[in-house]
């Protein structure tokens, strides 16, 4: 585990992809679809395999989209229990694992707070009044519903159950990475050994592009037109979480979409972004969100315990 050194002018975020011309014989195709509330881009030489990869991502979207009433997540949130499919169970088990590892910083049960903040900030922006932001007691009420230890799993029966009524989950911090990994598995099963998948900044680089590693540029968190650092990756994932892509500005203050489950407030700890490079996209997705919540010191302490992981933490003051 090491913090990569980079110069100030090399800070990046968001994931714009810059693919250097490879020496491969077969041409690469690139297709972008709107899925999972973001842009999903696949670069690959085989169009049939590419469609299969998109199909895998769609399957996870159908499970984890909390805005679709038919999804498993919506049914769990509505009924408080569900007989889960293997993928839904995996998503919840992996989330609970990192809830424990992070001391509660990664917590999918923050959903009631995510929704409260989203709705209140929207209202406050429309009516141009900061007074409409959530009140302490409202946040206090929602906080009583938070804690992934309150999600009960019966592995044998594939049963997932909330132990408190009113709870709900949000898989926004893990589902895109998980979907990318599922797509990669499908591609490998089809014999594909060179492909790049980018689901809203959750990227997996399968093999190389021709003779070179995949060349990834990540955008500056405060200047979308600027790329500040590059990564050359092969069979690795990279994900970035930050306060620059999804946020609200109200009275000159930036409100992140990532919630600190300890306080109930949007994260406000001086970080602008966290980029994680590791072996799979699920872990990269979870860890980037988690470290963004934990802040620099606690985040680094957690990352030091995780093998084969590199990171770049960008502080607001660096920009
Ligand atoms: P990401 O963009 O991957 O960092 O994930 C951010 C999304 O994860 C938010 O839009 C919420 O849906 C969800 N989320 C917010 N706060 C947390 C948290 N503390 N733990 C887990 N998921 C969160
Ligand atoms: Mg994430």
Which domains, from first to last, does the chain contain?
2-318 (3.10.520.10)
Q: For residue 125, which of 253, 272, 257 has the smallest C-alpha distance?
A: 253
Q: Which of 110, 121, 275, 292 has the most ligand 1 atoms within 8 A of CB, as the residue to mutate? A: 110
- Give me the phi and psi of 48, to 5 degrees please: -65, -45
Ligand nearest to the Cα of 242, by number:
1
Class of residue 136 by CB neighbours under 10 A (exposed 0-12, middle 13-18, buried 19+): exposed
pLDDT of 10 > 70? The answer is: no
pLDDT of residue 131: 73
Mean pLDDT for 16-21 is: 42
- Give me the phi and psi of 232, to 5 degrees please: -110, 110
**Strands (DSSP E) found in 84-222:** 151-154, 159-162, 195-199, 202-206, 214-220
Ligand nearest to the Cα of 170, by number:
1
Q: For residue 274, which of 134, 140, 102, 120 has the smallest C-alpha distance?
A: 102
Distances (CA, A) of 101 to 169, 178, 259, 294: 18, 18, 17, 12
Tokens at 86, concatenated: 């293997």
pLDDT tens digits for range 111-162: 999 999 999 888 888 887 777 788 899 999 999 999 999 999 999 999 999 9
Ligand nearest to the Cα of 241, by number:
1
**Angle at CA 254, nearest 5°, toward 253 and 257?**
145
pLDDT of 169 > 80? The answer is: yes
Residues of the chain with pLDDT > 70, as a percent, come to 90
pLDDT of 165 > 90? The answer is: yes
The answer to whether the CB of 168 is under 6 A from ligand 1 is no
- Provide the total of helices (H) and of strands (E) in the chain, helices listed first: 8, 16
Q: Which of 170, 176, 272, 311 has the most ligand 1 atoms within 8 A of CB, as the residue to mutate? A: 170
pLDDT of residue 126: 83
pTM of the predicted protein model: 0.91
The answer to whether the CB of 179 is under 6 A from ligand 1 is no
């Amino acid at each position: 585990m090491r913090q990569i050194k980079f110069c100030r002018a090399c800070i990046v975020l968001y994931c714009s992809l810059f693919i250097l011309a490879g020496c491969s014989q077969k041409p690469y195709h690139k297709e972008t679809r709107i899925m999972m509330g973001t842009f999903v881009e696949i670069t690959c030489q085989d169009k049939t395999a590419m469609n299969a990869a998109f199909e895998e991502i769609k399957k996870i979207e159908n499970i984890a989209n909390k805005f679709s009433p038919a999804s498993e997540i919506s049914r769990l949130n509505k009924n408080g229990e569900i007989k889960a499919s293997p993928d839904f169970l995996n998503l919840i088990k992996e989330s609970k694992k990192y809830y424990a590892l992070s001391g509660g910083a990664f917590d999918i049960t923050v959903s009631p707070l995510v929704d409260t903040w989203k709705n209140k900030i929207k209202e406050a922006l429309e009516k141009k009044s900061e007074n409409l932001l959530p009140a302490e007691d409202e946040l206090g009420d929602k906080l009583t519903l938070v804690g992934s230890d309150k999600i009960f799993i019966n592995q044998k029966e594939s049963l997932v159950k909330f132990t408190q009524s009113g709870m709900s989950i949000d898989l926004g911090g893990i589902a895109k990475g998980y979907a990318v990994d599922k797509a990669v598995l499908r591609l490998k099963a089809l014999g594909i050994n060179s492909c790049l998948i980018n689901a809203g900044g959750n990227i997996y680089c399968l093999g190389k592009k021709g003779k070179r590693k995949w060349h990834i540029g990540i955008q500056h968190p405060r200047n979308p037109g600027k790329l500040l650092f590059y990564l050359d990756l092969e069979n690795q994932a990279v994900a970035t979480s930050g306060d620059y892509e999804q946020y609200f500005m109200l009275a000159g203050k930036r409100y992140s979409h990532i919630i600190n489950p300890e306080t109930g407030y949007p994260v406000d700890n001086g970080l602008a972004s966290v980029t994680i490079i590791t072996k799979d996209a699920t872990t990269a997705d979870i860890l980037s969100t988690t470290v963004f919540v934990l802040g620099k010191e606690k985040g680094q302490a957690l990352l030091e315990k995780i093998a084969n992981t590199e990171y770049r933490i960008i502080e607001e003051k660096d920009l």
